[in-house]
Structures are given as structure tokens and as C-alpha cells.
Structure 1
């Protein structure tokens, strides 16, 4: 059964938790919010709507947001979201307004410092915002994975299972680090170092070519190793065949695209499942649900 993950929006701008808070909002009637700042960090993950963001002391006064935008506000930065007024496309006809959908992720300063003490990688987006770069953008596949991580946090928030507090820390830190990784790697050209071991190069090549034709012959040719070496390394180090690894990664790519709103029929073709019946069986075996059931369970109500 689908859980109700959506929160009713309020204009409250103070944190109640001493760690983090995460909300999913979907509004047709938009409540105005005055210019404000926080004493905590805000990660604003924009999903949909006709919205502009006004940030104090930024050259462009009203920045129109597009789905996939991530906006980061350190403490003390004044800002607010503004509903844009678009002219109706068909005058005289009633329009169905696009809902204003977003995740709002608040992190307490003390909790962020705790995470940064574990790894400075957590601080990248904050450091960029402190330099004046508040807005970043992710393409749909990566953005879909961020949404999936956010949904996992919200689902854990709504439970009372054993280990609840520990899982909240794990999932919230994973959401922040995933968001940071994808933004960083989207904005920096990441190449494989020459001294990376061969298994690392194999995995990197596969992960970067999941939407292309992949086979043992192609991997052996591209990386100048024997097919028997590839088979041996995957079995020894991952306990999977090359084919099993590729299928798992492609299924994960399909899943993330579907959760980002891309039609199932487009997602499975994109990732090389030319036959829907085979895709359906593989997806059900991997995730325990049919593709449609999985989307219905994990997609937030609009």
C-alpha cells in the first residue's frame, strides 16, 4: 500500500529536529512566503511548477526554476520562491494549473559539521553556495536517483521499525552525499586514473555505457584483456557473471528513470531491454514487483 509522503505546506521557517527535516510538498494554491533566511542549511530540490527563486544580492533577481534544479542556502542567505504568472494558452478555457512540487531538506549546522568531520566531501555544495553559486542542475536520470533517495528517507520517517534512528542518520547522510556526488560529477569531468586496477576500469566502462551494446567481446576489445580474465574477475570479486552485473545496473537505471517520470516503455528500451517480456520478468525478480506496481508504490502522489 502506498504511504502518503506529502506534507501540508506551512510558512514555518524554524527547525524542530536537532538533525534534519525533509518534506515533500505538492501545492496548486501557492502560499506566499516573505524573504527570509535560516540558521540551518536548506537544500531545495525542485520537481515541477511555474516558480522563480529570488535570492538577495544575486545579479539576476528572479531565476526561473526548471525540474532537476537544486538550490542550496547556507544560514543567513535571504531568499524566497515566487509563483510566476503565466498567461493562459487558451483564453476563455479553464486551465489545470501545474502543481508546485519540491523536496525541502533542512540540515542542522551541528549535524552537518558531524558529517563533514567524517568526510569533507559532504561540504562541496555548501562551499559552492558560500562562493555565490546557489543553483545547480541534474539531468533526469541522476535527478531520478536523488528522488529515490529522498523517498527512502520519507518512508523511514513514517515508520517505527527497530533501528529507526540509526537508519534516519544513514539515509539522510546518503541523500546528502548522493546529491553532492551527482552535482560534483556533473560539473567536473571525471576521468579514470591510469593506475586504476583493471576491475575498476571494467566497472567504470560498463557503468558509463549501460545504454550502449555491451558484451564480453566488446569489453575485451575496449580494455585489451581476455574474455576469460573478465569472467574470472567478476566471479571472484563480485560473485556475479558479467551479464548479471550488467542486467542489475540496467534495471537500476530503468527504475530511476521510471521514478523520475519517464514512461516505462521508454525506460526499458533506453537501457537495452528490447523485449518487454524479458524486462518484466527481470524487473519483478530483482525488485519483487512489476514495473507498474513499483512505480505506483514509490511515486509520490501529485
Structure 2
């Protein structure tokens, strides 16, 4: 049995850099002061969020989910999300597990794809409400991963990864055994919207057109465009561009050149990327990177003065 380790209070989480995974275990009591600190964001890794306690509305893209203790949120790279805290007497306690897509590919086998837990995620599949016995099992596995990831004992790294495999398999089974997440195609506009968003997320690095997307989803271009705009309040084209730009920002901060980013997200040429970036964020890519560096330096100097 692993030793008991205490959760830490919330603090801005460091980026994953080249790490395969990263786990955080946080508990906060000053909920009122904490509420404004959670902002809508995106990242390039998978996230598994497990709520232990607290009154939380969790937002993914344009949908909101009211969570209860033991609920899980599964976030894919590129999905905008954040937790909204509602004032209550409960502490806010949760696990947050980050996983690089390349890591999940590496540890999967031909017959067991460990990315399955995050595949077919739509507005329903992002949120899992589990039975009490599964909640206990997953809570224990997350605790074991947390403890072993902090340990220097012999074999701790292998144990952490072993527990991680078990966790991902159990979450995938929970989804596979629940028909809510695998309904027939195109029952209504909501299901078509779900499939459209899934298609965009899976092909975000490609040069997508509404015409091609409509062909893949077996609907007319005009119907797809109208349905998407009515439900999302934004055109498909603008949504795709915004999604690409938010992911491109991450790549800029990681040191990627604008030329490689243009190729990676199929912007066509630099001038197209530059104009889109300027419109969306009010500054050029170069100015944005410089501003972020200056903010980091200012934060570092402020920390050193403490």
C-alpha cells in the first residue's frame, strides 16, 4: 500500500515540456478567492480531470457540465475548457493528469489502443459519471500514480506507468460499456454538431473546407453551415481558424518557427498566417512571443525579490 501524501493548493501549472505525463493533486479551501483564477484555455496534451470534492461547473467548448464527486472530464488536445467554481462550504479537491499523445501511442499495443478513452469524445463523452465501485478504484489508481511519480524508490517509475495503464483501460471500458457515448449517426442536429467538432479536432492540421467536411458527414454544405452557425454562434471557417491559431500560439512559445507552424497547420503561406494571427490577437506573432518572454522575465524577477 502506498503511503499517504497530502494534496497541494492551486498554483499555475508548469508546461509539460518533453515529459510523457504529469499529475497534479490539489485541494483549496478559499474558494471565493480562487474562482477568478481559472481561465478558458487549450493545450496540446490529453487531460483527465477527476473531481474529489467541490461545487464545479466544467466548461468544454460551448457546453457546461455540473459535476459531482467522482465525475471525470476527458479533454483532448485543442479543446477549450475551464472549471467554474460555485461558492460552497466544501473544499475544492481534484486530480489532474496530463498525457502526451506520443506517450499513449508508445505504450499502446496492436490490440489495445490506450487513446481510446479520449477517442470519440464529444460533448457527452467528455463527461463521465461512474458507479461507486469504479470511482473508488480510479481514485486509488490516481493516488498510486501521484505517490509513485513523487517517489525516488526503486521501481517507482515503472509502478506509476503500470497504474496509469490500468487507469486508462478502466476509463475506456467505462465508456465502451455506456451506450450514451456511442449513439447512431445523425439522429438530430446535436449529434451532427458533435460529429462536426470531432472531425475538426481530428483533422486540425489539414486544410479543411466546408464542402469536403459536408461530403464526409453526408449532408449538404448549406445545411452544415447553417446548423453550425446557429448552434455555435460562429461560422465553421472562423471556428477552424481560431482553433488553429490557439494551437499555433503554443508552438510559437515552444520555439517553433513561423514557417514550420504554417506548414504544420496548413495555413498556406506566412502572409495568410500573419494576417489571421494579427486579427485574432491584435499583434504579430513576433510581438506576441516577445511579450510572453518579457512577462516570464518579469514574473521571475518578482519571484526572486520575494
Band the TM-score falls in, shorter-chain normalisation: 0.5 to 0.7
Q: What residue in structure 1 maps to residue 43 of structure 2? A: 38
Q: What residue in structure 1 maps to residue 130 of structure 2? A: 138
CA contact (8 A) 2:105 2:114 kept: no
User: Following superposition of structure 1 onto structure 2, how do residues 258-277 of structure 1 map, counting pairs within 5 Å?
Assistant: none
Q: What residue in structure 1 maps to residue 5 of structure 2? A: 4
User: Following superposition of structure 1 onto structure 2, how do residues 130-169 of structure 1 map, counting pairs within 5 Å?
Assistant: 133-169=125-161
**TM-score (structure 2 length as normaliser):** 0.52
Are 2:56 and 1:64 aligned? no
Q: Whole-Å Cα distance in 2 between the matches of residues 119 and 25 of structure 1? A: 35
- Go from structure 1 to structure 2 and tell me whether the alpha carbon gap of 1:144 and 1:132 turns closer, same or farther (over 3 Å shift): closer
- Go from structure 1 to structure 2 and tell me whether the alpha carbon gap of 1:158 and 1:12 turns closer, same or farther (over 3 Å shift): closer
SS class of match (2:177): helix
CA contact (8 A) 1:53 1:79 kept: yes
How many corresponding residue pairs? 176
Q: Whole-Å Cα distance in 1 between the matches of residues 135 and 158 of structure 2? A: 25
CA contact (8 A) 2:148 2:157 kept: no
SS class of match (2:168): helix
- Go from structure 1 to structure 2 and tell me whether the alpha carbon gap of 1:17 and 1:118 turns closer, same or farther (over 3 Å shift): farther
- Go from structure 1 to structure 2 and tell me whether the alpha carbon gap of 1:127 and 1:99 turns closer, same or farther (over 3 Å shift): same
Unaligned runs of 5+ in 1: 87-96, 189-302
Q: Whole-Å Cα distance in 2 between the matches of residues 145 and 186 of structure 1? A: 18
SS class of match (1:67): coil
User: Following superposition of structure 1 onto structure 2, how do residues 1-302 of structure 1 map, counting pairs within 5 Å?
Assistant: 2-12=3-13, 14-16=15-17, 18-30=19-31, 31=34, 32-58=37-63, 62-85=64-87, 97-129=89-121, 133-187=125-179
| Structure number with bigger Rg | 1
Question: Once the 2 structures are TM-superposed, how far is the Cα of residue 16 of structure 1 from its aligned partner?
Answer: 4.5
CA contact (8 A) 1:138 1:186 kept: no
**TM-score (structure 1 length as normaliser):** 0.53
Q: Whole-Å Cα distance in 1 between the matches of residues 110 and 8 of structure 2? A: 31
Question: Once the 2 structures are TM-superposed, how far is the Cα of residue 132 of structure 1 from its aligned partner?
Answer: 6.0
Task: Point out which structure has higher relative CO (alpha carbons under 8 A, 6+ apart).
Answer: 1
Q: What residue in structure 1 maps to residue 244 of structure 2? A: none
SS class of match (1:128): coil
Q: Whole-Å Cα distance in 1 between the matches of residues 153 and 110 of structure 2? A: 26
RMSD after superposition: 2.5
Q: Whole-Å Cα distance in 1 between the matches of residues 111 and 152 of structure 2? A: 29
Question: Once the 2 structures are TM-superposed, how far is the Cα of residue 17 of structure 1 from its aligned partner?
Answer: 5.4
SS class of match (2:25): strand
